[in-house]
Amino acid sequence: MNDLSKDAVNWLVVGEEGEGQRVDNFLLRMLKGVPKSHVYRILRSGEVRVNRARVGPDARLAAGDQLRVPPIRAAAPATRAGTAPAGAGAIPPILFEDDAIVALNKPAGLAVHGGSGISYGLIERLRQARPDARFLELVHRLDRDTSGVLLVAKKRAALVGLHAQLREGQTDKRYLVLVRGKWRDAVRAVELSLTKFVTGDGERRVRVESEGRSARTVFRLLRKWPDAEPPMALLEAELDTGRTHQIRVHLTHIGFPLAGDDKYGDFAWNRTLVKQGLKRMFLHAQRIRFAHPVSGDEITVEAPLPPELARFVARLDAGREAASDE
């Protein structure tokens, strides 16, 4: 929990790294090891104060603010018998790093942050591995089952600058996807508005709805296997907007479900894919291009196709070659 006293009230002066940050996010970063629920409890109770005034979780901090933090004891992380403690695990491979940003190659199966029953995600692992880092914040997110390039800001100015580029559509994000069906178009733009909703069992989902937020994905054909059973195609997906589950929902709506998609895909096909060796969703954040938030230089970061996905593509190619030899 950094160097904060666990037995007395702490008074912190917010530095430049906290400028513009929400107070809840600032506390979650400072109080490493303290459950998120406890952080929000002390905020709701008024025990946390900024310049001696009570604040809500969404209050924004400014450099020089005085922050009152009550005594807090970090509970030891709970573990299951025979498992490693929460937070254990190496950080993913680094694809690019300088003084302002770090780009990581996130594997499928790793959440980008804790929550919803997950004690530690990628950002918590990174903070744990770098206890002296003054600022580490996610620039964007990837679904837990998506692999590929993920950006983390090491300075608030970098975070603000990259967020502005994302909002204004100035970044270029490309994904690789495998779909079911006879895809024919070399390039196909899909513009369908999306709306978030909650299912009866409390799960968050997205659907196409005319009254939703505009969403545009451009798909480019890279390879296809029209004679496979069922036919399949490998596509590049370019995100012109960054809505939740955008690629997955767009593909299912136009009749080309994403391989391994357990929310919107073809569930019977998914079971067959598992037997054939594909045990994850085929959605990979391959590349992102952006202007460096400090220097302005154009930066391109790429993540190679993970071995388990590359092997499945090779298997499809081998099946096509075998069929052509018959």
Residues 160 and 32 in one domain: no
Taking CA atoms, 162 is separated from 63, 141, 247, 312, in Å, by 20, 13, 22, 34
pLDDT value for 25: 83
Residues 158 and 24 in one domain: no
Identify whether 229 is part of a domain: yes
Identify whether 77 is part of a domain: no
Residues 26 and 114 in one domain: no
CA atoms within 13 A on the CB side of 50: 20
Alpha-carbon distance of 23 to 27, in angstroms, equals: 6
Identify whether 79 is part of a domain: no
| CA–CA–CA angle 81, 120, 75 (5° rounding) | 65
Residues 112 and 58 in one domain: no
Taking CA atoms, 189 is separated from 131, 248, 300, in Å, by 44, 14, 23
Determine the 3-state secondary structure of 177 from DSSP: strand
User: Do 185 and 322 touch, CB atoms closer than 8 A?
Assistant: no
Residues 125 and 205 in one domain: yes
Which residue of the set 7, 58, 65, 143 is catalytic? Answer: 143
Give the number of domains in the chain: 2
Taking CA atoms, 320 is separated from 156, 166, 200, 225, in Å, by 50, 40, 43, 7
Residues 124 and 64 in one domain: no
What range does the domain containing 266 cover?
Answer: 94-325
Identify whether 165 is part of a domain: yes
In b/e form, how buried is each residue of 264-303, taking b as 16+ CB within 10 angstroms? bbbeebbeebeeeebebbbbbbbbbebeebeeeeebebbb
* pLDDT band per the 50, 70, 90 thresholds, residue 85: very low
Residues 98 and 213 in one domain: yes
Residues 33 and 123 in one domain: no
Mean pLDDT of 37-61: 88
Identify whether 76 is part of a domain: no
Tell which wins on pLDDT, 22 or 73: 22
Residues 134 and 50 in one domain: no
Range from 67-76, 212-221, 255-264, 290-299 carrying the lowest mean pLDDT: 67-76
Neighbours of 92 (CB within 10 A): 17
Mean pLDDT of 235-260: 96
Determine the 3-state secondary structure of 109 from DSSP: coil
Residues 31 and 105 in one domain: no
Q: How many residues belong to the chain?
A: 326
Residues 148 and 50 in one domain: no
In the predicted structure, residue 325 carries a pLDDT above the cut 60 = no
Q: Is 65 a catalytic residue?
A: no
Q: What is the average pLDDT score of the chain?
A: 87
Identify whether 88 is part of a domain: no
pLDDT value for 28: 81
Find the CATH number of the domain harbouring 138: 3.30.2350.10
pLDDT value for 190: 97
Amino acid letter, residue 134: R
* pLDDT band per the 50, 70, 90 thresholds, residue 14: confident
Identify whether 75 is part of a domain: no
Find the CATH number of the domain harbouring 62: 3.10.290.10
Identify whether 59 is part of a domain: yes
Closest CA to 301 of 97, 92, 141: 97
Q: What's this model's pTM, rounded to 2 decimal places?
A: 0.75
Residues 169 and 310 in one domain: yes
